[in-house]
């Protein structure tokens, strides 16, 4: 099994600019620029980094100011400092462990753990928070990591109304269908059917006059 590759920035080294690394990176000196790594980045005691860090795992035992995004875990060791009174830090990770000092906003998708030596000044956003005795939090704690389920749509119910209108030659039937329950109403569509003819007898007076005329002719 091969040893994991390791890169170190010494305590007397100042780096100005962006760093991209596929190896474990340990900072004992000072970095002013963005650090991008698909491995872990650690800021050791005495080290200082300002700007943006994106890595799999981030550990701060020194000092960090800026924005950090860890795919797995972000940890502030005892004696470590993230953020300052002049500039809040921003942390995003699946799990966040705070055993040092943190000033800013931290968002975890799984859990935030604060050790007895941890001190927080700012906002924590996580679905789960664990604090040891002696931990200090001065700020807001938001426990809204879980989204609310979408409301279930109500089934649509259909009702049918039939009306009959009398006319001189018969009846015309109309049917109206209305859908309720979903908040939508169908446009009423009349259904016209051919009217049945109605038998109309001749007036009685006309029949009598016709019979009298026939008798006279005879």
pLDDT band at 153 (very low <50, low <70, confident <90, very high): very low
Chain Cα centroid distance, residue 120: 27
Average pLDDT, the chain: 78
Q: What are phi and psi of 179, to 5 degrees?
A: -100, 130
**How high is the pLDDT of residue 71?**
95
User: How many Å apart are CA 20 and CA 39, to the nearest integer?
Assistant: 11
Give, in order, the Cα–Cα distances in Å from 18 to each of 23, 51, 164, 170: 15, 9, 83, 90
Is residue 189 scored above 70 in pLDDT?
no
Give, in order, the Cα–Cα distances in Å from 195 to each of 8, 173, 174, 199: 97, 9, 12, 13
With a pLDDT cut of 70, the percent of the chain lying above it is 64
CB 34 within 8 A of CB 15: no
> What is the longest distance spanned by two Cα atoms in the chain?
147
pLDDT band at 185 (very low <50, low <70, confident <90, very high): very low
**How high is the pLDDT of residue 214?**
52
pLDDT band at 1 (very low <50, low <70, confident <90, very high): very low
**How high is the pLDDT of residue 143?**
87
**How high is the pLDDT of residue 6?**
87
- Burial annotation 28-62 (CB, 10 A radius, 16+ → b, else e): bbbbeebbebebbbbbbeebbbebebbbebbbbbb
Strands 157-167 and 170-180: antiparallel
Is residue 207 scored above 50 in pLDDT?
no
Quick: pLDDT tens for 93-134. 999 999 999 999 999 999 999 999 999 999 999 999 999 999
* DSSP-derived secondary structure letter, 127: S
**How high is the pLDDT of residue 160?**
52
């Amino acid at each position: 099994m091969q040893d994991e590759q390791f890169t170190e920035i010494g305590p007397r080294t100042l780096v100005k600019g962006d760093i991209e690394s596929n190896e474990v990176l340990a900072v004992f000196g000072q970095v002013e620029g963005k650090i991008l790594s698909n491995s872990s980045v650690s800021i050791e005691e005495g080290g200082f980094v300002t700007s943006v860090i994106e890595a799999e795992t981030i550990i701060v035992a020194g000092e960090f100011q800026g924005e950090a995004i860890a795919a797995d875990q972000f940890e502030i060791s005892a004696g470590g400092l993230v953020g300052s009174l002049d500039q809040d830090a921003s942390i995003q990770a699946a799990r966040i462990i705070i055993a040092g000092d943190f000033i800013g906003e931290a968002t975890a998708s799984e859990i935030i753990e604060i050790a007895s030596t941890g001190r927080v000044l700012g906002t924590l956003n996580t679905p789960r928070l664990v604090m040891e005795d002696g931990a200090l939090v001065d700020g807001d704690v938001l426990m809204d990591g879980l989204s609310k389920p979408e409301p279930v749509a109500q089934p649509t119910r259909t009702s049918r109304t039939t009306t009959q209108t009398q006319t001189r030659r018969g009846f015309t039937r109309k049917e109206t269908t209305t859908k309720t329950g979903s908040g939508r109403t169908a446009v009423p569509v009349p259904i016209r059917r051919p009217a049945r003819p109605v038998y109309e007898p001749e007036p009685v007076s006309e029949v009598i006059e016709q019979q009298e005329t026939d008798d006279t002719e005879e």
